[in-house]
Structure 1
């Protein structure tokens, strides 16, 4: 017989809450994700006009319309999105991460990864599971309106924009997030 500890209870509760979040995909998987991606890009470009330049200069854009993150000692996040090249969806991806430590709360947010070089895009697409690392360049959402692609493309092959945060957790980081190709 197994002894259930508080840690097991918290982990089971966090997993249940994360599974219950509204970012799952039904039988219309691809079309549902595509509609969410289009809406997310439209919102981002309208709200942060400087990101439009990034989108035009990027070799590819990974759009995660809704990522749900929960934490109570143990935490995790999950979302689904699409990789677009020249404005067309070429693949679907999930983003997942796990964490442990002093944390409590829940939040939802959107994020977009701009692959600024063909090599960065090729590395991402060739990997079995690409993990965002510390070398990922972040653009704060409130700086998006003054962002210029020319100044950043030479510095970082992958640029992340995190926006539309709601919830009771402070901040969102993509470090340690694993992206995996899926079939919706």
Structure 2
């Protein structure tokens, strides 16, 4: 029992440290976040030209330029993003994720949510929004040439930035939207 308790505390301490480390973008100003989001959008369009049409044609999109994820059985991810409607900044969003499973490591990535319809964007902007565990994300890497699959009007795209993580897990993401003041 004592060993189990020690392992649980160690796991929670490691998870807490990884989540705190992944929250670095929270210390940035709104201008810094918008600049980071614009730079990552430009990188995605440069590296994956077929994505330009998704940015142009979507009712809106949210870019999370610096999402950090860490895991030791229990995983957590966090990031801040900028939300655009018809190409114009309309607000900011916070991303939080918790998952459980056979997993270990840490990674950083860019995440983009494309909203296919005005209704899907409005649902996101209404406050708390959840992506269920069964939502799938397309990972952009060299050689990507597929179409995005929208589920309930939302498509999720991720671009790896660094780190190493292995495992299988189940979890979901939660987003909080805050309009531009």
Q: TM-score range by the shorter chain?
A: 0.7 to 0.9
Q: TM-score w.r.t. structure 1 length?
A: 0.82
Q: Mind listing any 5+ residue stretches in structure 1 that lack a counterpart?
A: none
Distance 2:168 2:141 in 1: 14
**Counterpart contact for 2:60–2:86, Cα < 8 Å:** yes
- 1:56-71 to 2 correspondences below 5 Å: 56-71=56-71
Distance 2:32 2:168 in 1: 24
Q: Which residue of 2 aligns with 1:176?
A: 172
CA deviation profile, 1:112-136 (whole Å, cap 9, x unmatched): 011011111111111x311112564
More strand by share: 2
The CA RMSD measured in Å over matched residues stands at 2.9
Question: Runs of 4+ in structure 1 displaced over 6 angstroms?
Answer: 171-174
Which range moved further: 137-146 or 67-76? 137-146
Distance 1:90 1:13 in 2: 35
Shift of 1:144: 7.6
Shift of 1:165: 3.7
Q: Which residue of 2 aligns with 1:83?
A: 83
Q: Mind listing any 5+ residue stretches in structure 2 that lack a counterpart?
A: none
Distance 1:173 1:74 in 2: 9
Q: TM-score w.r.t. structure 2 length?
A: 0.83
Shift of 1:17: 2.6
The 1:179/1:14 distance shift into structure 2, 3 A limit, reads: same
CA deviation profile, 1:85-104 (whole Å, cap 9, x unmatched): 12221111111111222211
The 1:75/1:93 distance shift into structure 2, 3 A limit, reads: same
Q: Secondary structure at the match of 1:55?
A: helix
- 1:2-81 to 2 correspondences below 5 Å: 5-21=6-22, 23-26=24-27, 29-81=29-81
Shift of 1:139: 3.0
Q: How many residues align?
A: 177
